Amino acid sequence: MPRTVLALTAMFVLGSTAAAQALPTADGTSSKAASATEQRASAGLLAAMERDLGLTPAQAEARLDAEEKATALEPKARRTAGAAYGGSWFDAATGRLTVAVTDDASPTAVRELRAAGVTVRTAEHTAEELDATKARIDKLSAPAGVSSWHVDPKAGTVVVGVVRGEREDADVRRFLERAREAGPVTVKETAATPRTFAAGTVGGDPYYTGNVRCSIGFSVHGGFVTAGHCGGVGQSVSGWDRTYIGNFQGSSFPDNDYAWVNVGSGWWTVPVVLGWGTVPDQLVRGSAEAPIGASICRSGSTTHWHCGRVLAKNETVNYSQGAVHQMTKTSVCAEPGDSGGSFISGDQAQGVTSGGWGNCSGGGETWFQPVNEILNRYGLRLHTA
């Protein structure tokens, strides 16, 4: 049984599971929304955001509130924009969701977006066009000097990352030529080649597969989700205390980086992500997807609790073992052993740690596999408070 779970068991029946029904607008905050902000804005969480994002506690509280509104607005904004939708992101400077639309967007749609508190920008390409460009690039074989590629709605292009010093490599140049033939592309230099964070059921807690240590992502009914590179189907899993938990029931890597493990033998699942003493252990209340630009935090068994921002979505990451698709990139650091661990925004599950570059001393970037994709793939149900 993980160390912190017993003390938290009573909290689950006491915590409110109600959520505000109305979509947020530009003015006012409901009492339910204010209550939700108070629940997640603990002193420890605010301190972590101050450390990793350079925010004061008051700025962090305001940021969390604005991001909650933006997260609720994003799916409605996408539907309102319709075929003219060019992508969206959270603008930390204004505290508002920005939505890009092509110039053929209907005046009615633009008025509705602005009335809901959205900042509207003009886009040259639709999100559908950019996604199609990325899908064509996904079919190419990438050399080691190409680190990743993703749709950037702010730039209106697919951004291809090339490892510093590798741009003149003949294979990289050929890849970029073919990528540009696929559609609008921008090339960006990256610091290093990404790697996975595996080393030799509560989110962030360690588990072991043989000599490999990884981290639990999120509890689901019947088990937990984690990274696929941590183990293959049928492999045995033991917990932080080295007692048997269960086995990998599904696993995919590369192409994807997700897996799920069944839980039994005296273990059970709880909707909690470990705060490791930096913040209180966090209850998980859902899996609403945070927008690009939103703050996000990660829990893992090596570096524990760190925060940053969502940098990109639907990025293809070119690991040495092969490309992994539909990843989300963040500015959060991670290190070996953090693989599989929890990415969470407020009280909403976001995904499981895959890999990245750098470390938590000098900084870096980390990717995660979105949790909703994992739940849909295996027909799982997230365990929520």
For residue 39, what pLDDT is reported?
Answer: 54
89-95: long-range contacts at Cβ-Cβ below 8 A with a sequence spacing of 24 or more?
Answer: 89/153, 89/154, 89/291, 89/292, 89/293, 90/66, 90/290, 90/291, 90/292, 90/293, 90/294, 90/310, 91/119, 91/293, 92/63, 92/293, 92/309, 94/119, 95/62, 95/63, 95/66
pLDDT band at 40 (very low <50, low <70, confident <90, very high): low
For residue 17, what pLDDT is reported?
Answer: 27
Q: Residues with catalytic annotation?
A: 229, 257, 339
pLDDT band at 169 (very low <50, low <70, confident <90, very high): very high
Overall average pLDDT of the 177-197 stretch: 91
> What is the set of domains in the chain, with CATH numbers?
56-123 (3.30.300), 127-193 (3.30.300.50), 196-378 (2.40.10.10)
Residue 29 has pLDDT above 50, yes or no: no
Could you read off the pLDDT of 342-362 as tens digits, one per residue? Answer: 999 999 999 999 999 999 999
For residue 265, what pLDDT is reported?
Answer: 82
Could you read off the pLDDT of 286-334 as tens digits, one per residue? Answer: 999 999 999 999 999 999 999 999 999 999 999 999 999 999 999 999 9
First to last CA, the chain: 19
Side-chain half-sphere exposure of 60, counting CA atoms within 13 A: 26
Residue 9 has pLDDT above 60, yes or no: no
Residue labelled with tokens 């799916």: 75
Query: What does the H/E/C string look like for 199-228?
Result: ECCCECCEEEECCEEEECCEEECCEEEECH
When mean pLDDT is compared across 46-50, 186-190, 193-197, the lowest value belongs to 193-197
For residue 46, what pLDDT is reported?
Answer: 85
Sequence-distant (6+) residues with CB within 8 A of 184 are 124, 125, 130, 133, 156, 157, 158
The predicted model scores a pTM of 0.78
Helix (H) or strand (E) holding 129: helix 127-138
Overall average pLDDT of the 60-80 stretch: 96
Residue 20 has pLDDT above 70, yes or no: no
pLDDT band at 201 (very low <50, low <70, confident <90, very high): confident
Overall average pLDDT of the 367-379 stretch: 98
How far apart CA 60 and CA 35 sit, in angstroms, is 16
Beta strands in 114-268 (DSSP E): 119-123, 146-152, 157-163, 185-190, 195-196, 206-209, 212-215, 218-220, 223-226, 236-238, 244-252, 258-262
